[in-house]
Amino acid sequence: MLSTSAFAQQTHLVVITGVPGDEEHAQKFHKWATTFIDAAKTKDAVPDANITLLAGTQATKAGVEKAFADLASRVKGADAVLVLLLGHGSFNGTQAAFNLPGPDLTVEEWAKLLGRLPAQRVAFVDTSSSSGAFLPAVAAPGRVVITATKTGGERNETQFPEYFVAAFNDPAADRDRNGHVSLAEAFDYAKTKVVQAFQQKGLLLTEHAVMDDGGGGLAATLFLGTGRAEGALAVDLSDPAMKKLADEKDAIDQQIAALRLKKSAMAEAQYDAQLEQLLTELALKTKAIRDLQTRKDKR
């Protein structure tokens, strides 16, 4: 019997580019959106039918509401949904917005749209300036929320989206070396790259990305696609040896998720050392699973 869990679950992507303001930003937002979507297709085999791109005149309040309504009718509870916003944001001291052509959706309206999705695993990634103001309103159990800034007051144009999108094409972002980049890995990669970019220019850091993983280390288990290398190999869980390896790998995954939750309370060196040890164990276990399955396939 082959494991089918990886195939029963699907990932749906919604990518929205906001008002660019000028041609330079229009090209930049388009490049990021297409790069992200291409990575989802080529690296994680997300089908075209599961990808929604709203740009230009399609990226209106009505267009976004229709896209979410369509998505809510198609998504199953076991599926995952990832919403990515690329564009400009604003904050007037009380209300934050992601800038769309015509009227903007309020933060509360975004939260309602997300709440209508039947999927139990949802990610909302707002890479715009002032996006931190979204976090309190849209955070919820079972929902990963990533914002490029920690508050609405960080109003400068953000560098986070460039690196967040790049993570899914850079093997260096795949810290557990399982062949796929999780949202947690993409977040860590982009946040580190932003800090390095500011340091290299000798500038004061004006954006501080934040992630709320919805509890239980969800961000470490969310990928653009199925995201599990052993799942892509159709692992035979009826084999006791394979089942044992898969269970051991799941246990390591849970240890990594638990460690990530304790990160803020730990010394950085201690956290990095423990994480590196667990990631090495995970990579070795993943390799053992793939090697065993390869041997079985050749019989």
Q: Where are the domains of the chain?
A: 5-221, 234-297
221 touches 180 (CB < 8 A): no
Residue 276, classified by CB atoms within 10 Å of its CB into exposed (0-12), middle (13-18) or buried (19+), is: exposed
170 touches 189 (CB < 8 A): yes
Question: Nearest-CA neighbor of 175 among 83, 260, 79, 82?
Answer: 260
* pLDDT score, position 162: 98
Q: Is the pLDDT of residue 140 over 60?
A: yes
- Cα-trace Rg, the chain: 19
Fold of 5-221: Rossmann fold (3.40.50)
Rounded Cα distance between 166 and 36, Å, is 8
Q: What is the mean pLDDT of residues 87-102?
A: 93
Residue spans of alpha helices (H) in the chain = 5-8, 23-44, 61-74, 107-115, 135-138, 160-167, 183-200, 229-232, 240-261, 268-297
* pLDDT score, position 10: 86
Residue spans of alpha helices (H) in 139-181 = 160-167
Rounded Cα distance between 194 and 292, Å, is 39
* pLDDT score, position 115: 95
* pLDDT score, position 226: 61
30 touches 17 (CB < 8 A): yes
* pLDDT score, position 261: 74
Is the pTM of the predicted complex or chain greater than 0.95?
A: no
Structure tokens at 28: 């930049």
Question: Nearest-CA neighbor of 86 among 163, 140, 17?
Answer: 17
Structure tokens at 217: 């280390």
Tell me which of 130-134, 150-154, 232-236, 291-295 is least confident: 232-236
Strands 121-126 and 96-98: unpaired
